[in-house]
Amino acid sequence: MIPVRGVEGQNIAILGLGRSGLAAARAVQAGGGNPVCWDDGAAGRERAEAEGFEIRDIGRAGALDDVSLLVTSPGIPHLYPAPHRAIAAALEVGVPVDNDIGLFFRSLATSDWDQFETIPKVVAVTGSNGKSTTSALIAHLLAEAGRSVQLAGNIGRGVLDIDPPEDGGVVVIELSSYQTDLARSLTPDVAVFTNLSPDHLDRHGGYGGYFAAKRRLLAEGGPDRAVIGVDEPEGLFLAGQLSEGPADDRVIRVSSGRKLQGPGWSVFARKGFLSEYRKGRQVASIDLRQVKGLPGAHNHQNACAAYAVARTLGIAPRVIEAGLHSYQGLPHRSQVVGEKDGVVYVNDSKATNVDSAAQALQAFDRIRWICGGLEKEGGLEALHPHLGNVAKAYVIGREAEHFALGLGDGVECEICGTMEAAVARAMAEAQPGETVLLAPAAASFDQYDSFEKRGEDFMARVRAALDV
């Protein structure tokens, strides 16, 4: 646990009592503060009460009179589309609002670090797609190189729930836009921006607000090194903002699909090969085509970003290459479930939006595509240029017919409705050399509690049919 610093003897309101909220309450208590807890759901309040925390409806009049700080969970709106009533009340009376990420950064360093030979480092990863894979891959590469590393944030443990890092340790944290938008302290040693595509626009008041939330990690965080994907205009702009000149190697530019120019530090993947360039010269190259845990151009971008972080932390290219080959991938993200009779079965249930599904569709040559669910804002037109590898689509979800119409006339569709029917039909029709791919391009909540549950259903049905 990371005890929160600067809260001794103070009442600290905790809003939202899920994983991060309860961890924040415990960390505040460990730092000598008094957590005052609230959740709109009875189950959350009961969990906190069972741990002995004070329960108080902090949205009612006068409830914040003796409170020094309000700590909110990331899923609770603080501005758009409208602030939660407790946050609005805090802002009205001048009580500062923060989240567990802000508490983490202000509390991580202690006087014990004065005795360390090597000060611990924090690597923070944000972006629209690939941030979980990139974060997990960075942690894997560091662990394979013998470094002490912990993975936290949106993936792994809550940031306040980890152990205090030891001498030379590294903490890798994945951060969503919800987390970067509000944190009052953001001071990573290395910050990563993977890419940007439309998501959570209602929460950020539009695309510009969404980019601004991501941008805070780098522009306000002041990292020693910034690893930035430059395949979208926003990333290219951000790299330009942070760089002091063409040869400024504090900014490492990353790309998938094109060679990067200039005298600075860059890492890019092209035709399946990762290349590192410094001062206009190639210094390393890795063949990514046989790295089974990272298929497709989108995963090659993740590999480039993770490689850049490992290099800035002093890991040699050949050690990184060995770590890439031993990486098994994350569940529900281009996860190979099985193979039989020349057909490969891949679970990418995390492809919950059009952009991530498009990337998955480009990773395989001939696809039996299981798709559908709760369609997100913006429609499916952006998928149309990426359907050339799809032999047939098997559409699931309560609105499967509407989803199928959105795919247009460029791909053959079958309305299946359920995962059971879709898996059965795709397996019956798949030919050697094809991939049965779950990449829904939609949220799961019309049929499942989460994308994880959807992926688990797919895997269970495939494995039962394959008898593995």
Tell me the C-alpha to C-alpha distance, in Å, between residue 130 and each of 46, 113, 208. Answer: 35, 32, 20
444 annotated ligand binder: no
In a shared domain, residues 177 and 40 = no
CB 357 within 8 A of CB 371: yes
- Residue ending a domain, choose from 45, 80, 98: 98
In a shared domain, residues 269 and 245 = yes
CB 151 within 8 A of CB 196: no
In a shared domain, residues 317 and 385 = no
In a shared domain, residues 388 and 253 = no
392 in a domain, yes or no? yes
Please provide residue 35's backbone torsions phi and psi, each rounded to the nearest 5 degrees.
-70, 130
Per-residue pLDDT of the chain (468 residues; tens, 9 = 90+): 999 999 999 999 999 999 899 999 999 999 999 999 999 999 999 999 999 999 999 999 999 999 999 999 998 999 999 999 999 999 999 999 999 999 999 999 999 999 999 999 999 999 998 899 999 999 999 999 999 999 999 887 899 999 999 999 999 999 999 999 999 999 999 999 999 988 788 899 999 999 999 999 999 989 999 999 999 999 999 999 999 999 999 999 999 989 999 999 999 999 999 999 999 999 999 999 989 889 888 899 999 999 999 999 999 999 999 999 999 888 898 888 999 999 999 999 999 989 889 989 998 999 999 999 999 878 899 999 999 999 999 999 999 999 999 999 889 999 999 999 999 999 999 999 999 999 999 999 999 999 999 999 999 999 999 986
In a shared domain, residues 358 and 411 = yes
Cβ atoms within 10 Å, residue 377: 10
Cβ atoms within 10 Å, residue 271: 9
Strands 343-347 and 335-340: antiparallel
Per the DSSP assignment, residues forming a β-bridge with 270 are 273
259 annotated ligand binder: no
Tokens linked to 157: 């443990």
The single-letter DSSP state of residue 108 is S
In a shared domain, residues 314 and 358 = no
User: Quick one: what percent of the chain has pLDDT higher than 90?
Assistant: 89
127 annotated ligand binder: yes
Q: How is 385-448 classified by DSSP, letter by letter?
A: GG-TTEEEEEEESTTHHHHHHHTTTSS-EEEEESHHHHHHHHHHH--TT-EEEE--SSBSTTT-
CB 190 within 8 A of CB 227: yes
99 annotated ligand binder: no
Cβ atoms within 10 Å, residue 18: 17
* Structure confidence at residue 468 (pLDDT): 67
Tokens linked to 290: 């046989």
Element housing 144 (H / E) = helix 131-144
185 annotated ligand binder: no
214 annotated ligand binder: no
In a shared domain, residues 65 and 162 = no
φ/ψ region of 378 (left if φ > 0, alpha if ψ in -120 to 50, else beta) reads left
180 annotated ligand binder: no
CB 227 within 8 A of CB 308: yes
CB 53 within 8 A of CB 37: yes
84 in a domain, yes or no? yes
Question: In terms of residue numbers, what domain contains 355?
Answer: 335-466
Angle between helices 233-242 and 207-219 (to 10 degrees): 30
In a shared domain, residues 244 and 353 = no
In a shared domain, residues 260 and 375 = no
> If you average pLDDT over every residue of the chain, what do you get?
95
Instruction: Tell me the per-residue pLDDT of 222-254, one tens digit each, with 9 for 90 and over.
Output: 999 999 999 999 999 999 999 999 999 999 999
In a shared domain, residues 316 and 376 = no
Closest-CA residue to 150 (of 162, 158, 161, 141): 162
Q: How is 184-240 classified by DSSP, letter by letter?
A: S----SEEEE------SHHHHTSHHHHHHHHHHHHHTT--SEEEEE-SSHHHHHHHH
- Residue ending a domain, choose from 303, 326, 349: 326
66 in a domain, yes or no? yes
What is the domain-level CATH number for residue 157? 3.40.1190.10
pTM of this structure: 0.85
What is the domain-level CATH number for residue 70? 3.40.50.720
- Report how many domains make up the chain: 3
Burial of residue 376, with CB atoms counted within 10 A of its CB: 0-12 exposed, 13-18 middle, 19 or more buried: middle
Instruction: Tell me the per-residue pLDDT of 11-56, one tens digit each, with 9 for 90 and over.
Output: 999 999 998 999 999 999 999 999 999 999 999 999 999 999 999 9
Alpha-carbon dihedral sign for residues 204, 124, 234, 231? negative
In a shared domain, residues 230 and 290 = yes
- Residue ending a domain, choose from 78, 98, 118: 98
33 in a domain, yes or no? yes
State the Cα–Cα distance between residues 305 and 138, nearest whole angstrom. 8
Residues near 279 by beta carbon (within 8 Å), at least 6 away in sequence: 247, 263
Instruction: Tell me the per-residue pLDDT of 373-387, one tens digit each, with 9 for 90 and over.
Output: 999 878 899 999 999
CB 160 within 8 A of CB 35: no
In a shared domain, residues 151 and 211 = yes
User: Quick one: what percent of the chain has pLDDT higher than 70?
Assistant: 100
Please provide residue 268's backbone torsions phi and psi, each rounded to the nearest 5 degrees.
-145, 155
State the Cα–Cα distance between residues 460 and 324, nearest whole angstrom. 27
